[in-house]
Amino acid sequence: MCQTGEEQEQKTKRTGEEEEEEEEEDEEEEEEEEEEEEEEEEDEEEEEEEVEEEEEEEEEENEEEEEEQQQQQQQQQ
């Protein structure tokens, strides 16, 4: 079977379209991966901030307790 030029052209067109679709899919996958990475980084940052806040709160509580203890000692004297 001999292919006419038109048939060959259509096949080439189809392959070009398939390649474009594959490239678009690859780009979409890359974008999704980047978004996931960004979300993970944001989550990590949020966790770090929460930990810092908790540590600060603990420090404040400790300082308050120390002050209370000092006041009680002064009252006893």
Return the HEC string of 5-66: HHHHHHHHHHHHHHHHHHHHHHHHHHHHHHHHHHHHHHHHHHHHHHHHHHHHHHHHHHHHHH
pLDDT at residue 30, rounded to an integer: 98
Q: How confident is the model at residue 3 (pLDDT cuts 50, 70, 90)?
A: low
By percentage, how much of the chain surpasses pLDDT 90? 65
pTM above 0.85, yes or no: no
Q: What average pLDDT score do residues 21-42 get?
A: 97
pLDDT in tens, 41-75: 999 999 999 999 999 999 999 999 999 999 888 87
